[in-house]
Each structure stands twice: as structure tokens, then as C-alpha cells.
Amino acid sequence: MNESPKAIELYDTTLRDGTQGEHINLSVQDKLLITEKLDEFGMDFIEGGWPSSNPKDEEYFLKARTLNLAHSKLCAFGSTARSLQNIDNDSNLLGLLQSETPVITIFGKTWQAHTLKGLGISEDENAELIYRSVSLLHSRGREVFFDAEHFFDGYKDNPEFALRMLRSAAEGGASRLVLCDTNGGSLPDEIALIVRHVHSHISLPVGIHSHNDGDLAVANSLAAVIAGATHIHGTINGIGERCGNANLISIIPNIMLKLQRNFTFLEHLSQLTALSKFVYEILNLPADGKAPFVGKSAFAHKGGIHVSAVMKESSLYEHIDPKLVGNRQRVLVSELAGQSNIRYKARELGIELPEKGDLLKNIVHHVKELEHKGYQFDGAEASFELILQRELGSFMPFFDVLETKISIESHKDAKNVDQAVLKVAVGDKTELVAADGDGPVNALDKALRKALSRFFPQIKTIKLIDYKVRVLEEKRGTSAKVRVLIETSDGHNTWGTVGVSTNIIEASLHALCDSMNYHLFSVSAAVHDRDEVLQKQL
């Protein structure tokens, strides 16, 4: 009787290898948000960074200890010890241990040329370096994964040397041996042949870590799985140094839908598109419309025979049902309504929309109008929820900003002064306030809080923790629309809101107002009535 194939493990390195890509930059808060999203999605392992390399990663691992992850195990990344002398006090290994992650991933040289020319040590010394580094981490109670750097190039150059380095890691206590196509130049048939050979000589689970320099990282990862690999490294949207890493957004549906293989935790792909967009939004980068599976154009059809056939039977021109990956079919000459997406998101937020009537159509129409104007609700779920609650009649704004004035004074030999003056109405009361800030948006934020804190003291407990601006119509220069996305926290929860305008101050104000309204609405939900909250404050 044949054994059923082992579940495939997903190892995400967006927060470490992904950030080595050009124009990719993540704050600590960004990394924490992505970590939670990856865990929610069902990722097995999340590589958070290299704690010994920079203060940002050290701060991330410190703050990540407070995350309540349901599925994922955090991994710290680093190298083997720098020399055989005094391995017990190697600063890199000690930094990995201090990160307190349950899993540590270290890389070592498995290409003889790198060992001799790069490190300047012998084969025996390199094998000992790998063994002792892994052994030290393993002896401290950590699960250790070994990234066999340049493995495929090393194997093609000297198979015996490459395999010996794997055995050293295994003898030291590594639980996964990850074969890395570090230069990204291997072909799928080479990957498959070598993985099979390793799989037949090594009893430990074998992993694959592909780079995309030949535009084959996804194909190489799939070839490795077919050949016996059960552990896959990659990044969301394929970000990473040079040409990028293997794109998990493409790998995951191919494995589940085409190879019919299962993952450890991930059972449904319906959030794949949302995950892709979420990471793009956090990175402040435009989503790739032509991305397979999740791109806006992935299931788009334009005119003629294609549209006629698709409307009769979508499988005639679509390789999968787009709903499986959270995407949707688009007929460019007659856009579909997308009601199911709205209903799904509403249920995710705990909002049940009525089955009958025009309400859902009205919401879809309104959301599509906003998206046409440049709004993006991935990463701004609080703004989206307020739209739903307003349409349901459950939400009315707690305040109105009646007047806004921004003053920016620039002095050659003195500190610049930015001031915001706001006139805010709460019920039948008005408040006129002014506040200085470090920049006009900071002044605006301070003034709005100052105006509202008299009526809603709980506003004092929240703070803006992230602020991003994206130019939507770059060719229009300074008259272009901008989208402002902000993240706010009350110390326990975080929420995102969005604003769009040709005026960056106005866009920022919209996002700030949504943020504070969302917080007040959440508070009012506890007492079931907005007016009751207002009466208490007024």
C-alpha cells in the first residue's frame, strides 16, 4: 500500500530575503503587521530577519514575542560561526539565540569554490564549522534549519563535497536541509535530478530555496516538490534581491490545485489575492496587474469570441475558477458586480448583509466608484467597515470638520513652523482649535485630537503608528491624486484607514477622520448606541 504524500511546509522569507530587493523597505510595524497576516493565512514558518545584522531586526524580534500567533513559528536567520575558534561565543550565533525564536535558520557554504576562495578554509574545516554551529544551536533547544547556500552550483561542481556539507548539518542536529539555488541560474530538470539524488541519500526532509534570475524560481520550486522536496522557501509577490525570490503567491495555488498536494495548515486559497494586495500596500508599491492567479488582469477578458465563450462557460478560457484564489472574473466591456467579494469581506468583519433588496448592489456600486477614484481598501479595512455600517444605517460620523486651515512657515535660519487650525462640530457644539506639529499632517493630527478630546477623552489613548502616501497619477505631476494610508493603534488593536484627494492634506484628513470615527464606533458598539455615547460626552 502506497503512503500518501507528506504535507508541504511553507516557509516565508518576505521579511528577510524579500527586504533585500531594490526599493523594498519595511518598518518594524510593517513587519509585525505582515507577520500577523501570514499567520492568519496559514504559513508554517515566518523568517523575521537577521537579528545580529541591524537594530531594526532586533527590535522586531523583541516586539514579535507579544504576538499571539495561531499557526506560524517565527524563525531567526543567520550564518554559521565565522571561524572555528571560540564558537561558543560567536556573536552571530549568540544573537540568534537571544532572538528567542523556536526555529533558527543558518546558512553555510556548500560550494567548494566558496569555501576555498571565499572563506579560505579547507573542506574538513568547513564541514566542522557547519557541524559545530548547528550543534550549538540544537543543544540550546532550538529547532535548526540548514540553508545549503549555492547548493546546486556546488553540487554540479563537486557532488561529494556538497553532500558532505549536508551530512555535517544533519549530524549536528538540523531538522530541515534546504537546497538553495542562490544565483538563480538552474533549470527545472537540473533541480529535479539533484533533489531526487539528495532525497535518496539523505533521510531528513529536503527543502528548496530558489531565486528568480532565470525567471524560473516558481518552476524550479515545483520541480523540487515533484522530486521529493517537502519544504518550500519563498516570498509574497516574489520580492527579493536582484530579480527576486520564488513567488509563494504562484507556488501555493499550483501545488494545491495542479499538483493536488496539501499544506500543513493552509486549506483554503480564498485569501490569496487579499494577501498579495496587503503586502503590496504595506510596501507602498502598486500591485502587479498581470500577476498570475491574483492580478487584476489574471481573469480579465476583452471583447469578441473570448467574452462570448466565457459568459457561456468560464473554463473555456480560464485555467481555474478565480474565486478559489479570492480573485474575480472581469469582462472589460461589461464589468461584473463583485457582490460575492463584498459579502465575503462583510462576513469576515462580522457583518451579515441582507440576502434580498438593493442594499448589496448599492454598496458594490459605491465601492466601485471609490476604487475608480483611487481608493484601495486592502490595508484599510476600518474605512471599508465604516462604508458598510453607514449603508446599513448603523453608523453616522461622530463629528464633522467644518473648516481647515494649514499654515507652513519656512525660516532659513530657524526651525520651520507648521500649524493646523480646525473648526470641528460634535452634535450642536463646535470647537475651534490650533496645534503646531512636525509637518502639516502631524499638526493636523494634533489639532483634530485636541478638538475631540473634550468630547471623547478616549481619543487620547490612540496614536498614529504609520503613514504612507502614494501618487496615483504620476504623469500629472504635482496635480496628481494621492492616496494616504494610515495605521492607528489603541495599544491593543491596530486598524487601517484611507483617504484620496489631489490635496495631500485633504487626503490625510479623510484618513484621520475615518480612523477616529472607527475607534469611536468600536467604543459605541459596547454600549449599543452612538447617541448615548454623544450624550455622555456632551
User: What are the tens digits of pLDDT across the range 307-326?
Assistant: 555 555 676 677 899 999 99
pLDDT tens digits for range 347-364: 778 888 887 778 888 888
Task: Specify the residue for cell string 523568517.
Answer: 47
The tens digit of pLDDT for each residue in 436-479 reads 988 888 899 999 999 999 899 988 889 888 899 988 876 666 66
What digits encode the pLDDT tens for the residues 373-397? Answer: 888 887 788 998 999 999 888 899 9
What Cα–Cα distance (Å) separates residue 483 from each residue in 31, 273, 385, 505, 538?
Answer: 21, 20, 18, 11, 34
Average the pLDDT over 415-433 and give the result: 89
Average pLDDT, the chain: 88
Q: Where does the pLDDT of residue 114 fall: very low under 50, low under 70, confident under 90, or very high at 90 and above? A: confident
For residues 255-267, b (16+ Cβ closer than 10 Å) or e, as one string?
bbbeeebebbbbe
How buried is residue 538: exposed, middle or buried, by Cβ count under 10 Å (0-12/13-18/19+)?
A: exposed
Q: Which of 169-173, 376-380, 405-409, 496-500 has the lowest mean pLDDT?
A: 376-380
**pTM greater than 0.75:** no
Q: What are phi and psi of 150, to 5 degrees?
A: 55, 35
CB 333 within 8 A of CB 302: yes
Determine the pLDDT at residue 336: 37
pLDDT, mean of residues 471-495: 83
Q: What are phi and psi of 402, to 5 degrees?
A: -85, -40
- CA distances to 518, 522, 528, 531, 535 from 525, in Å: 10, 5, 5, 11, 15
Residue 529: pLDDT band by 50, 70, 90 thresholds? very low
Is 527 a residue whose pLDDT tops 50? no
The three three-digit cell numbers of residue 394, written as one number: 448603523
Q: Which domains does the chain have, with CATH numbers?
A: 9-267 (3.20.20.70), 400-537 (3.30.160.270)
User: Mean per-residue pLDDT for 254-282?
Assistant: 93
Taking residue 7's Cβ as centre, other Cβ atoms within 10 Å add up to: 14
Mean pLDDT calculated for residue range 118-125: 90
Amino acid letter, 479 = S
For residues 41 and 365, the model is more confident at: 41
| pLDDT cut 90: percent of the chain above it | 65
CA dist., res. 36 & res. 31, Å (int): 9
**CA dist., res. 525 & res. 34, Å (int):** 28
Element housing 504 (H / E) = helix 504-527
* pLDDT (0 to 100) of residue 332: 47
Give the count of beta carbons closer than 10 Å to the beta carbon of residue 54.
Answer: 11
110/286 Cα distance (integer angstroms): 37
pLDDT of residue 335: 34
Helices and strands: H and E segment counts in the chain = 18, 16
Of 164-168, 305-309, 355-359, 411-415, least confident by mean pLDDT is 305-309
Name the pLDDT band for 1 (thresholds 50, 70, 90): very low
For residue 57, give the amino acid letter.
D
Stated as kind and residue range, the H or E segment containing 389 is: helix 381-391
Instruction: Determine the Cα–Cα distance for residues 398 and 453; give it in Å rounded to an integer.
Output: 12
pLDDT digits (tens, 9 = 90+) for 56-105: 999 999 999 999 999 999 999 999 998 898 899 999 999 999 999 999 99
For strands 231-234 and 143-149, give the pairing: unpaired
Alpha-helix residue ranges (DSSP H) falling in 121-259: 123-139, 151-157, 159-172, 188-201, 217-226, 248-253
pLDDT at position 16: 97
In the chain, % of residues over pLDDT 70: 89
Q: Rounding to the nearest 10 degrees, give the CA dihedral for residues 182, 188, 194, 195.
A: 90
Q: Is the pLDDT of residue 206 over 90?
A: yes
Q: Is the pLDDT of residue 269 over 70?
A: yes
> Which band of pLDDT confidence, cut at 50, 70 and 90, is reported for residue 262?
very high
Residues β-bridged to residue 145: 105, 176
403 confidence band (pLDDT: 50, 70, 90):
very high
Give the per-residue pLDDT at 331.
59
Residues in CB range of 161: below 8 A, 6 or more apart:
110, 111, 112, 115, 123, 154
pLDDT attached to residue 337: 37
Q: For cell 489603541, what's the residue?
A: 490
List, in sequence order, every residue forming a beta bridge with 146; answer none if it has no partner: 106, 177
Stretch 491-509: mean pLDDT, rounded? 91
Could you give the CA distance from residue 481 to residue 191 in angstroms, rounded to a whole number? 47
CB–CB of 222/210 below 8 Å? no
pLDDT at 334 over 50: no
Which pLDDT score, from 0 to 100, does residue 533 have? 52
